[in-house]
Amino acid sequence: MCGIVGILGKGPVADKVIEALHRLEYRGYDSSGIASLEAGRLEVCRAEGKLRHLEAKLDRHPLHGDIAIGHTRWATHGKPTERNAHPHATRRVAVVHNGIIENFRELKLELEALGVSFQSETDTEVVAQLVDRALLEGKSPVDAVASVLPRLRGAFALAFLFDGQDDLLIAARRGSPLAIGYGDGEMFLGSDAIALGAFTNRIAYLDEGDWAVLTREGVVMHDEHGAIVQRPVQTVPAGALLVDRGNHRHFMAKEIYEQPEVIGHTFGHYIDLENETMALPDLPFDPRTVKSISITACGTAFYAGAVAEYWFERFARIPVSLDIASEFRYRETPLDPDGVTIVISQSGETADTLASLRYAKECGQKVVAVVNVPTSTIAREADAVLMTLAGPEIGVASTKAFTCQLATLACLAVSLGRTNEHLSREDERRLVRALMETPRLMTEALKLAPEIELLARTLAKARDVLYLGRGTAYPLAMEGALKLKEISYIHAEGYAAGELKHGPIALIDETMPVVVIAPFDRIFEKTVSNMEEVAARGGRIILVTDPKGAEAAPVDAVQKLILPEMPATIGPMVYSIPAQLIAYHTAVIMGTDVDQPRNLAKSVTVE
């Protein structure tokens, strides 16, 4: 959600803090701030809006301290104003925070009764005030933080800087990630390793409940009971930490165009190309005895699960129950202790998905996580991890992570089908060959960009857009609609084409573009009837199909985006490309902030 940075440096660190915050902007960007010690005294600089506003302020009033904490915010409690921006500070302590302090209201009432007055509407400020009071009572900074942490309820990461303490930062993690970076006579703290990529590749991750005391000499880590603990220091490969836009105008464009490559990596990881077999790691369950699979995730990752539902049922003949994680976690659905839950998450930190994972484990289920961030909490807590090898995804709208999730889930479904003998060796070989065509066909699909750019000029004038699909193209229709609304702010909905006449058809008139995702398959005929219903009411159809579909489609009122013919299984991955490009080019024409659309954050670590 928000991004946290802390640096104990050898010289002035404000520029480094800003650099790290830039790398964390994907976590939130509605305000930002920095606190440092200037001649031993706490000073805070904060700004509303993008990080460049903070940079402009720092140009006018530079900070020179060699110790600082910084923050980029995605507002939860309190509007995204300068007053609510982090750090929140008293005269004695400054704090930056990611997550939510659930019991902040009762703590605030308690403090107000003691005469404390609050400057902001945030939950974070109660933390600063509680630590401040403990310091006033004569506690040391370490004891003050240690006494306050048990009083906080919720999921959070915190970093503290203290007046007069130029060799001390304290960090705490409960529910939100924090990485410690080791330098040479310097120490770093960040919400993730990417934030610290420019300074160090030696990283340790705090475990759930840990808190840490950093000095320039190193770090002392404590678990939630206060016992001193060691967490392994990993050397993260340099390339994994450095991300830039390359030649693209936006990260989202770069990530769309990277898909043939990263999909290839992901398949390469799960497929034995020489023998044309699936080569997944050992799983903690036997597919021959599993009676059902639950899949749960949020947003785009949920739609990847919705596509995979078709695959698990078709290839492995295992029934699937599919849930949005924020519903699943509270529905108290009875889960078979011998069953399996699959959670899907790019970040591996999404709060609702993590809570669903924990619920499934409490019910005795084995949990398989499909994640893109190997060091994430979900990856660490799952019984088995299937990595998507998409690389860091910076654009807030998920693109390459989605198609790599699909690639991984397709491999899993085929592998399960083979083990429980619903697929023959020949079926497996045929499916492997089909999957391996994906990168090439994605490259072909990317060639539609100029056509889609033209089409986007019309779409950019629409108020609403409807997306329709059947079979695996149905979840893809929902994903296409989500992509369009989140980055262009045009209202869009995805429907199962067969549902059209049960309600949404009332919306159709000549102002309503309808994107129909329909490869030529055994149910194409049915979708043709739906297109005719739309055309009869003046709707403008954009048909995404293949050469046979283009020929068989009704001619009137149809604009066609034609992809090559391809095996049905890889359709969802390849057809994602036009869906992503439609959203991308429409947003570019509308002039929105494509990589950092309003109100969104890349990693949703709060419910």
Active site residues: 2, 602
d(CA 232, CA 123): 32
d(CA 301, CA 355): 15
CB nearer to ligand F6R: pick between 94 and 378: 378
Q: In angstroms, what is the minimal distance from the CB of 21 to ligand F6R?
A: 20
Q: Which tokens in the block code for residue 208?
A: 């759930």
Q: In angstroms, what is the minimal distance from the CB of 190 to ligand F6R?
A: 18
Three-state DSSP state, 306 = helix
Three-state DSSP state, 455 = helix
Q: Is 299 in the site for ligand F6R (CB under 6 A)?
A: yes
Long-range own/partner contacts, residues 239-246 (CB < 8 A, 24 or more apart) = 240/193, 240/391, 240/392, 241/193, 241/194, 241/196, 241/197, 241/198, 241/201, 242/197, 242/198, 243/23, 243/194, 243/197, 243/391, 243/392, 243/394
For ligand F6R, which stretch binds (CB under 6 A), given 10-18, 214-222, 249-257, 297-305?
297-305
Q: Is 300 in the site for ligand F6R (CB under 6 A)?
A: yes
Q: Which tokens in the block code for residue 281?
A: 């790691």
Q: Do 234 and 193 form a contact (C-beta atoms < 8 A)?
A: no
CB nearer to ligand F6R: pick between 97 and 483: 483
Q: Which residue is nearest to ligand F6R (CB)?
A: 299
For ligand F6R, which stretch binds (CB under 6 A), given 2-10, 105-113, 298-306, 334-342?
298-306
Q: Is 350 in the site for ligand F6R (CB under 6 A)?
A: yes
Q: Which of 121, 120, 116, 119 is nearest to 131 (CA)?
A: 116
CB nearer to ligand F6R: pick between 16 and 485: 485
Q: In angstroms, what is the minimal distance from the CB of 369 to ligand F6R?
A: 10
Q: Is 301 in the site for ligand F6R (CB under 6 A)?
A: yes
Q: In angstroms, what is the minimal distance from the CB of 176 to ligand F6R?
A: 13
CA 471 to chain centre: 26
CB nearer to ligand F6R: pick between 278 and 387: 387
CA 310 to chain centre: 24
CA-only gyration radius of the chain, Å: 25
Q: In angstroms, what is the minimal distance from the CB of 493 to ligand F6R?
A: 15
d(CA 475, CA 481): 10
CA 45 to chain centre: 29
Q: Which of 465, 581, 477, 580 is nearest to 519 (CA)?
A: 477
CB nearer to ligand F6R: pick between 296 and 527: 296
CB neighbours (10 Å) of residue 585? 24
Q: Is 298 in the site for ligand F6R (CB under 6 A)?
A: yes
Helix (H) or strand (E) holding 161: strand 154-162
Q: Is 45 in the site for ligand F6R (CB under 6 A)?
A: no
Three-state DSSP state, 429 = helix
Q: Is 255 in the site for ligand F6R (CB under 6 A)?
A: no
CB nearer to ligand F6R: pick between 7 and 478: 478
Q: Is 200 in the site for ligand F6R (CB under 6 A)?
A: no
DSSP state of 115: T
Q: Do 457 and 488 form a contact (C-beta atoms < 8 A)?
A: no
For ligand F6R, which stretch binds (CB under 6 A), given 12-20, 346-354, 417-425, 437-445?
346-354
Site for ligand F6R in 586-605 (CB under 6 A): 603-604
Site for ligand F6R in 426-485 (CB under 6 A): 482
Using CA atoms, how far residue 55 sits from 30, 49, 491, in Å, is: 14, 11, 34
Give the contacts of 472 (CB within 8 A, at least 6 positions apart).
Answer: 307, 310, 311, 568, 571, 572
CB nearer to ligand F6R: pick between 36 and 266: 266
Q: Which tokens in the block code for residue 314?
A: 């078709």
Q: In angstroms, what is the minimal distance from the CB of 475 to ligand F6R?
A: 13
What does DSSP say about strands 67-73 and 31-38: parallel, antiparallel, or unpaired? antiparallel
Q: Which of 72, 176, 341, 346 is close enough to bind ligand F6R by CB under 6 A?
A: 346
For ligand F6R, which stretch binds (CB under 6 A), given 21-29, 176-184, 288-296, 342-350?
342-350
CB nearer to ligand F6R: pick between 371 and 413: 371
Q: In angstroms, what is the minimal distance from the CB of 298 to ligand F6R?
A: 4
For ligand F6R, which stretch binds (CB under 6 A), given 58-66, 71-79, 91-99, 345-353?
345-353
Q: Is 398 in the site for ligand F6R (CB under 6 A)?
A: yes
Q: Which of 210, 486, 521, 595 is close enough to bind ligand F6R by CB under 6 A?
A: 486
Q: Is 177 in the site for ligand F6R (CB under 6 A)?
A: no
For ligand F6R, which stretch binds (CB under 6 A), given 74-82, 192-200, 293-301, 327-335?
293-301
Q: Is 129 in the site for ligand F6R (CB under 6 A)?
A: no
Q: In angstroms, what is the minimal distance from the CB of 350 to ligand F6R?
A: 3
Binding site for ligand F6R (CB under 6 A): 298-301, 345-347, 350, 353, 397-398, 482, 486, 603-604
